Amino acid sequence: MSERTRGENRAWRLTFDYVGDQITLAGQEQVAMLAPPDDSEHVQRAQTGYHVELRDDAGRPIYQRILHAPLADSYEVFSPEPGAPIRRVPMEHPHGRFEAIVPDVEGGQTVALVGPPGRAGRAGRSERGAPGRATLIEVRLGQPPEARS
Amino acid sequence: MSAADGVIVGTTKLVDHGPDSARWNLVLLAEGYQQAELPKFHADADAFVTRLFSTSPYTELWCALNIYRVDVASTDSGADDTAGCTDGPPGTGTGATVNTYFDARFCFDGSTRRLLAGDQDLANDTAKAQVPAKNAVVVIVNTAEYGGSGGLVAWASTNAQSGEIALHELGHSAFSLGDEYGDIYNTYAGGEPDELNLTVDTNRATTRWASLIRAGTPVPTLTNPDCTTENPAPSPVPAGTVGLFEGGNRYHCGLFHAEYACRMRALGNAFCAVCTDRIRATLRQHLPVASVPVRGTQFTGTLAPRQTHQWFTHDWPACWHVIWTVGTTTPVTPGPGIAWHVRVERATRETITYWIEITNLTATSLDIEARYAVAAKD
């Protein structure tokens, strides 16, 4: 990744919609901001969960950032009593929106959401060396969102 | 019950620590405030900022943050009092609706009164339009009843306890922290999860936060003897001890978190050491870095022989790295002419007052000057 230069912080913000396991790109934009720090070291060690990945033309990851439950299928419910248990209640029809911010760096061509294969939908494929993970959606930077009815 | 039910009045940078392109930018949105109630939103937003400032590790990394307040005036006040929930306070669940910009309502899922949320996409889009470099969004809902929720944006009512919901949810959305409690699942049998505050590894030498576990701490530190429910046992180790405590990501067993108590396990707790480290690692890059120094002379004066005098200079941004030097412009030789030291007063959340005491060590009058250099401010 290129060295941070003051005044030149650039990132891509990608917005995704999901209904059940189906994920679509809702939009992407370049923003003058810092992307979160790279999590590649942690992603290598983990075996399950979700992360967003910036890839080069050959499909190699050049940036990875962990995401917590981007395809949420429940709501978290709290109690006003300090220390009281937290619980979750299911969404009747899981759907929603999530964002990923990746650095705008030379060589970055596509952005992928990687997660459990069970939630891969039609876009899913197995990841080499990463059992339990699949590409759930991959979009080319600069590509317009899919037309939606 | 939509954007047609209100208007965006304006955006104010409440906490300004430099350019948005370098800072971590939090946006606070008003929901359910009528135009005449916006001064109340200003106070509610200030209260949330104060709460955040008093929450570690935000306190230590305060200079990494910018915070915006977006004034949104709604047609009506409050949130929908959705019918169908029987778990609310007496008199609630009437089905009364109000016309508000983000359409916030209690009982968002149709069965849980405390679940307060609204149009997440509209809230997120509004925040992005006002602050393109936004990192996180909290919607403050103008109702004193307890409630809130998470997701792409966090929702919290003005109830004194609801701010905790937003802090927990920011842990998820901004720092990718996992839940450290179990609720419906018994035993986790999967691999190491992505979330850095959870692990399946019970090996003292290799587990994720091994470097934080002291030699005398038992590992695992607290296991759950009944994997059908949460473990009610008290902690076997003093508060703040890092170890391996069973439960997390909705599983009662098989996953471990780092401390007995943590905000990601139950509200009202501080973040544990591992969650704190994760938040720090994300925010640290947003701190001001060294810049071309800005230099100047803050004050000059004359000290009588052997005199000690104290000056003060106020309203210096707390996030600036200021280096002080006091010198004498009267030649003195041989030996030292003056002694000085600086005391620092954090006068407000954002400002510092410097107290500079200077002593003339000689038997003659000396002219002095106090010079500063600001080494990092953007």
Average pLDDT over residues B145-165: 95
Q: Does B117 touch chain A (CB under 8 A)?
A: yes
Confidence (pLDDT) at A131: 56
Taking all residues of chain B, what is their mean pLDDT, rounded to a whole number?
95
* Residue A129 reports pLDDT greater than 50: no
List strand residue ranges (DSSP E) for chain B, in order: 6-15, 24-31, 65-74, 134-141, 148-149, 154-157, 182-187, 245-248, 250-257, 290-303, 308-317, 321-328, 338-346, 351-360, 366-376
Backbone angles phi, psi at B263, to 5 degrees: -60, -25
In the structure encoding, which two tokens stand for residue B118, read together? Answer: 């609204």
Among candidate residues A148, A147, A149, A143, the one with its CA nearest the CA of residue A14: A143
Determine what percent of chain B is predicted with pLDDT higher than 90.
90
Confidence (pLDDT) at B1: 52
Contact residues, chain A, for B22 at CB < 8 Å: 6, 9, 34
Q: Which of A68, A77, A99 sits opposite B176 (nearest CB)?
A: A68
In the structure encoding, which two tokens stand for residue B7, read together? Answer: 């208007």
* Residue B115 reports pLDDT greater than 50: yes
Strands B24-31 and B65-74: parallel
Query: Taking a C-beta distance cutoff of 8 angstroms, is the pair B60, B53 a contact?
Result: no
Give the lowest-confidence range in B3-7, B198-202, B350-354: B3-7
Query: Taking a C-beta distance cutoff of 8 angstroms, is the pair A107, A62 a contact?
Result: yes
Q: Do A75 and B115 touch (CB under 8 A)?
A: yes
Q: Do B192 and A42 touch (CB under 8 A)?
A: no
Average pLDDT over residues B50-79: 97
Strands B250-257 and B182-187: parallel
A32: which residues sit within 8 A by CB, 6+ positions away? A9, A10, A11, B20, B21, B132, B133
Contact residues, chain B, for A75 at CB < 8 Å: 108-109, 112, 115, 117, 149
* Residue A149 reports pLDDT greater than 50: no
Nearest CA in chain B to A40: B194
* Residue A130 reports pLDDT greater than 60: no
Q: Do B266 and A83 touch (CB under 8 A)?
A: yes
Q: Does B281 touch chain A (CB under 8 A)?
A: yes
Determine what percent of chain A is predicted with pLDDT higher than 70.
83
Among candidate residues B37, B71, B169, B155, the one with its CA nearest the CA of residue B105: B155
Most B CBs within 10 A among A86, A88, A102, hence the mutation to make, goes to A86
Size of interface A-B (CB pairs under 8 A): 150
pTM: 0.91
Q: Does B168 touch chain A (CB under 8 A)?
A: yes
Angle at A8 between CA A7 and CA A11, to 5 degrees: 125
B220-258 pLDDT tens trace: 999 999 999 999 999 999 999 999 999 999 999 999 999
Contact residues, chain B, for A24 at CB < 8 Å: none
Average pLDDT over residues B36-41: 98
Among candidate residues A17, A10, A68, the one with its CA nearest the CA of residue A39: A68
At A133, the pLDDT band (50, 70, 90 cuts) reads: confident
Alpha-carbon separation of residue B89 from B27, B113, B117, B148, B307 (angstroms): 30, 9, 18, 15, 68
Q: Do A96 and B152 touch (CB under 8 A)?
A: yes
Amino acid found at B178: G
Return d(Cα B183, Cα A87) in angstroms, integer.
6
B323: which residues sit within 8 A by CB, 6+ positions away? B372, B373, B374, B375
* Residue B137 reports pLDDT greater than 70: yes
Nearest CA in chain B to A86: B266
Q: Does B252 touch chain A (CB under 8 A)?
A: no
